[in-house]
Amino acid sequence: MRLFRRRQTRSDPPAKPEKTLLRFITCGSVDDGKSSLLGRLLYETGSAFEDELAQCGGDLSRLVDGLEAEREQGITIDVAWRFFETETRKFIVADAPGHEQYTRNLVTGASTAELALVLVDARQGVLTQTRRHAFLCRLLGVRSLALVVNKMDLVGYDRAVFDRIVEEFRPFADAFLPIPVSATAGDNVTRRSDAMAWYEGPTLLGHLEAAEPEAARTDDRFWLPVQAAIREPGFRGVAGLVVNGSVRPRDSVFILPAGTATRVERVLVAGAEAESARAGQSVTLTFSSEVDCSRGDLVSSYGTPDVADQFEATIVWMGSEELVPGRQYALKLATQTCLATLQPPKHEIDMATLEPAPAKTLALNGIGLCDLWTDRPLVFAPYEENRDLGGFILIDRVTNDTVGAGLIRHALRRSHNIHAQPLQVSREARAGLKEQKPRLLWFTGLSGAGKSTIANLVEAKLHARGRHTFLLDGDNVRLGLNRDLGFGEADRAENIRRVGETAKLMLEAGLIVLAAFISPFRAERRMVREMLPEGEFVEIFVDVPLSEAERRDPKGLYAKARDGQIPNFTGIGSPYEPPERPDIRIDTTATSAEEAADAILRYLLDPPRRPAGDRA
């Protein structure tokens, strides 16, 4: 602590107060004038954009056209970010596109915004996308909302039009400030409008300058998601962005989720020693003791965040393909990554009424409430309490595309009430008693390829050798365990998940399990593989051309599918995704079932080595 400060003398110039920063987003429907409004703000404030104006010859309309073109070129990836400042404040603005298919970009911008400008074309009034954007801004924690009724010059600056739009919008926001403007003429943007003397509120820029930024949390709970562990000669520490509270040297902290206790020894900000660090600052910490702390962990003071593996969350779906309940998606929350499985939505939000509506899945831009579980515990806080520890993204594991954003509402009670029971007899002991190594032989391929025939032969040969086995066949399982499931994509995913969990239990018992299922999707086969220890999942691709499988048609299913009696039949109404790198490939047009069974047995007796991490 500094005990003495230099005294200011009369010759010292007065210290200028530090400019505060406000993050805001512009949003609304297509052609409501967002780019024109932003161009006007940049033109009137002038700061930080003189070069752009100079390149446009000082022509505001050309600058607006340039902003629009740039945004259109970049919206498939992100929003267009702009920076400007006035005499009193700095601003970061996210210019979100109005097109419905780019709702994901609105979510990106609103997730960090403190204020939203929702634009409405005075001629068009409140549209579906206006309601969607207002709802999403509220959902994503933007507490300050301004309804900017633009193009008032095109309706003769009619107050009645403005009042009508304000009333239309009122059901979709708890509190908001309505401002009538004309972005092209500059009315009420940075200067008051003589044409709208009936309006007594602030100008748009005046509102932005007066708005109170969302203050960083001042409670004592310190939260630091670890982005990197630094291990260098003579230095060990962790780095990350503080998302809550503050930290000082000698503070007691915990490493979550392990719960390891230690003390902070040094606090480094921008590489220099600091007396403290607060929310919003990037920091490096060192500890007074050797602790295991790496990326994905969280450094926390008392009043720690919760740890759970089952949640209720609001999902904003961004994928072109529908959400598949029961399918595993990669989930990223702060610096944590895991696999998540979503249940069917409890409901979807009807954008026309903002009321809950029944739903079995979520399509592009759908917003719904879902339960989900993760393959490992996550350190989290409800989104309304902390955006960084409550917001996550979902990633398709096959395409690597971001397909959803989620906001955690709370952990499910059963997440805390169910605990694994340790068992005295281990899986190794059970397998040792049977003198065999547990394996899951997963037969995949089109209907009619020969999966069940070959699997039956393999089991008979293993049984003859004294091996302990069990065969799970697709039709047999659907006659019992999975009789409640249909053949839509979500039900197929759940079918394979249940089979995978059943096979996992059988492997715990030390058995060799054979599973013969079409299992058409790579995502579900990969899910089962990753349930098991390395090397226990053997993927056997029983390969046959569709034309040959259809010619065989042992159960008459292809004929029914061609006749329209079986929708979503694999190969006809639903795709089959062949394995990219199966452990064994059997071509049943060139190999008999007996030869195939012998080849699989030879593989089991002398399996080839596969590179670590190789996945089919």
Residues that are catalytic: 519
Tell me the DSSP string of 403-438.
EEEEEEEEE-HHHHH--PPP-SS-HHHHHHHHTS--
477/410 Cα distance (integer angstroms): 35
The crossing angle, in degrees rounded to 10, of helices 451-464 and 593-605 is 50
Inter-CA distances, 91 with 15, 20, 157, 180, 206, Å: 21, 9, 29, 21, 13
Q: Which two tokens stand for residue 532?
A: 């098991």
Q: Where are the beta strands (DSSP E) in 431-583?
A: 439-444, 469-473, 512-516, 537-543
- Phi, psi at 499, each rounded to 5°: -65, -40
- Reference 343, options 297, 283, 406, 280; nearest CA is 406
- Reference 403, options 334, 327, 350, 312; nearest CA is 327
Please list, in sequence order, all residues whose beta carbon lies within 8 angstroms of the beta carbon of residue 121, skipping any fewer than 6 positions away.
29, 31, 32, 33, 150, 151
∠ at Cα 539 (538, 540), nearest 5°?
110
Cβ–Cβ under 8 Å, residues 168 and 179 = no
Work out the number of other CB atoms within 10 angstroms of the CB of residue 411: 19
273/265 Cα distance (integer angstroms): 11
CA atoms within 13 A on the CB side of 5: 4
Strand, helix or coil for residue 87: coil
Is the Cα dihedral 305, 308, 312, 313 positive or negative?
positive
Q: How far is CA 375 from the centre of its chain?
A: 15
- Reference 28, options 116, 123, 113; nearest CA is 116
Cβ–Cβ under 8 Å, residues 368 and 359 = yes
Pairing of strands 355-357, 347-350: antiparallel
Cβ–Cβ under 8 Å, residues 377 and 307 = yes
The crossing angle, in degrees rounded to 10, of helices 522-531 and 489-508 is 20
Please list, in sequence order, all residues whose beta carbon lies within 8 angstroms of the beta carbon of residue 64, skipping any fewer than 6 positions away.
35, 36, 38, 39
